[in-house]
Structure 1
Amino acid sequence: MTQKSPTPLQRIAPQSGTGFRLNKGDVLVVIDPMGEQVSDLMAFAADALEDGRPTEWLSSGRTFDYNETIYLTTGHQLYSNRSRVMFTLLRDDVGRHDFLLTPCSTETFEILYPPGTADGHPSCFGNLVKAFEPFGIRPDQIPTTLNIFMNVLVDEKGQVNIGPPISQAGQRLELRAEMDLIVGLTACSAEGSNNGTFKPIDFQIIPAGE
């Protein structure tokens, strides 16, 4: 059997996103090429479709339950709403990611960052909607995302604050797909999540068996 080579390194432009498929066993490598840049990730099970619509997706609640922590890193597994393992984290150069907060949206900017979207501000939610549209996934089916490299701080009273990402240029997160998946990935559009700047995100797919 001929082994497949890793895909070329691909770049997601600042404040944009993309969608693609992963096969079981493939490793998704997400890289922060310049440092301090968040990437929102969402995945749906490719084999769990009803009338073409997905019924199984990456679940923050199940993932927190089964790992017994909100701080996910190397060795942890990410679960679906049906309690199946979707990803295993193989390598984590940063050690701080968020799975509490939803992807930034038009409403995020209107409520939290006035004057909102009068200037046509992009959002991770909007970019994920575009990324998933070719796969028949509707906006209301996009739940809380895994916000890679996002530095969310929770104090003893439960107050949530967003700090600058601690990721440095070239650091990465590697996730192995444990089932066939439909994936959306962004370069985050929220100033407050990226220390006031917008930069690209790089990614690569290493096929199963490599």
Structure 2
Amino acid sequence: MPLQGQALVSGTVEIPPRSGAAFVLETGQTLIVTDPGGQQVADLLAYAKDDVREVVSNGRTFDYEETIALTTGNTLWSNRSNRMLTIVEDSVGRHDFLLTPCSEATFKHFYPTKPVHRGCFGNLAAALEPFGVEPDAIPTAFNVFMNVPVDGASGRLRVDPPTSKPGDHLALRAEMDLVIGLTACSAYDSNGGSFGPIEYRIEG
């Protein structure tokens, strides 16, 4: 029986609002992440299938790609300096790799009047547990469609609503056998105050 969120190569899987999934992506396969309703972020993590201590790294990626504005043609690198995912299509061109997955602590800090939610961190931890990934092994995620402008003078960050429109997508080719964690983000500001699903499919 497939694990939670496991996709058939020919199928499209919906991740319901404020939830997550984990699945295997093999070398050469392409993962297509779609925002069906618009203005919805998806937190994405990648681990080496053969050793989940190897994980996607924002620091290595920024270093080797020499940009924080990652889009078509850029690669996401691991903490061991190996290529993990290459962006092959990007209909939005605005993503974030600076901010950590939202968590219960995030909600207590930024949304003290809102109900506490386990957030993307909790959803990723639950989805990745069957693959041997512990919560402390969850790093900064590649936040697909997230809109985080950086002020050039002060360096201050701002979280604005995503610019993604219904049907926008990001396609990433696996450069090694991977375990992928993927969410429909749960944070209010990240998604313009509302929550929608995320869809994904695997090709190749």
Return the TM-score normalized by structure 2: 0.94
For structure 2, list consecutive stretches of 5 or more residues without a partner in the other structure: 1-7
- How big is the shift at 1:115? 3.2
Q: Which residue pairs with 2:148 in the alignment?
A: 152
Question: Which is higher, the Rg of structure 1 or of structure 2?
Answer: 1
Paired residue secondary structure (1:161): coil
1:111 is aligned to 2:114: no
1:30 CA drift (Å): 0.1
Counterpart selection for 2:15 from 12, 16, 21: 12
Per the TM alignment, residue 113 of structure 1 is displaced from its structure 2 partner at its CA by: 1.4
Aligned positions of 1:25-104 closer than 5 A: 25-48=28-51, 54-104=52-102
Q: 1:126: which partner in 2?
A: 122
User: SS at 2:73's partner residue?
Assistant: coil
CA contact (8 A) 1:71 1:97 kept: yes
Paired residue total: 196
1:199 aligned residue (191, 196, 199): 196
Percent same amino acid at aligned positions? Answer: 55
- Give the partner amino acid of 2:71: T
CA RMSD for the aligned pairs?
1.1
Corresponding letter in the other structure for 1:127: N
TM norm structure 1: 0.91
The answer (yes or no) to whether the contact 1:109–1:115 under 8 Å persists in 2 is no
Q: Distance in 2 between matches of 1:122 and 1:175?
A: 27
